[in-house]
Structure 1
Amino acid sequence: MKKLVILATVLGTSIVLSACSEKKPLTPEEQWHGYCTSIGNAARSILLDRQNGITQQEAIDHANKLTDPTTKAFVDKQIVKVYAFPQAQLEVDRDALLAQFKKESTDECLATPFDQQKLPDYKPF
């Protein structure tokens, strides 16, 4: 019984220590993928805001607070795309439309060439 308790303690300690170990740094490609995922989430949020009555001007005013030029360019493009979408279709299968906008903007971002030395400064969304 004592051996089992000691074994459980050792295993538990090793699991805790391994969880505390440092994560390996992300490659530029992994960082870009995370960034593009955030861009997709932002596009989804912009559409959701529109569906909930936020005006285009309010969206633009909020986007103007962005300081990173790459992020601002992506967000500005999404605002134009979302507000050009027909109002009548905003309520037809809302969840599918949100997923569609998120996927399209993520894929578009992933297809965009990026400078590995100058990755955008962003907070994961």
Structure 2
Amino acid sequence: MKMKKVVLIALGLILMGCGKKEPLTPEQQWHGYCVSIGNAARSIALDRQNGIEEKQAKEHASKIEDEMTSKFIFEIIETVYRLPVDQLKSDPDAIREDLKKKFTDQCLVTPHDKLPNYKSF
């Protein structure tokens, strides 16, 4: 019985620790945003590999309201659709991961004075 109480108390303390989340710092928020931009690059490359036309990608991207996010996404679309199809199909997973890393890194070094209003990708 005593062991059950110890386990319950320990479990309660663990759950209490998980319940409190500190607000993200602006740097953490920016990092999260940039990871989302990288994920978007990977998704756009996958769309292209699956036959989505550039026009469709741009139509979908035109619905993005945040100016900074829109600029990143249109740049990603331009980059992805400039790649030769043969290159995209040579090693699809590696291409997607390379684009994700490239655009995440590019975003991280982009000067910003405010955080964009965006939804995670």
- The Cα shift of 1:57 comes to 0.3
Once the two structures are superposed, the pairs formed by residues 93-108 of structure 1 within 5 Å of their partners are 93-108=91-106
Once the two structures are superposed, the pairs formed by residues 48-67 of structure 1 within 5 Å of their partners are 48-67=46-65
Once the two structures are superposed, the pairs formed by residues 40-79 of structure 1 within 5 Å of their partners are 40-79=38-77
Structure 1 residue 6 corresponds to structure 2 residue 5: yes
The percent of aligned pairs where both chains have the same amino acid is 50
Distance 1:123 1:80 in 2: 21
- The Cα shift of 1:97 comes to 0.5
- The Cα shift of 1:3 comes to 2.2
Once the two structures are superposed, the pairs formed by residues 77-88 of structure 1 within 5 Å of their partners are 77-88=75-86
The CA deviation string for residues 33-67 of structure 1, in whole angstroms up to 9 with x for no partner, is: 10000000001111110010000000000000000
Structure 1 unaligned regions, length at least 5: none
SS state at 1:25 partner: coil
Distance 2:46 2:74 in 1: 16
Q: Of 111, 119, 122, which residue of structure 1 is paired with 2:118?
A: 122
Q: Which amino acid aligns with 2:38?
A: G
- The Cα shift of 1:9 comes to 1.7
Distance 2:27 2:75 in 1: 23
**Aligned residue number for residue 18 of structure 1:** 17
Distance 2:8 2:88 in 1: 56
SS state at 1:66 partner: coil
Deviating beyond 3 angstroms after TM superposition, the runs of 4 or more aligned structure 1 residues are: none
TM-score, normalised to structure 1's length?
0.92
Q: RMSD in angstroms over aligned alpha carbons?
A: 1.0
Q: Which amino acid aligns with 1:66?
A: I
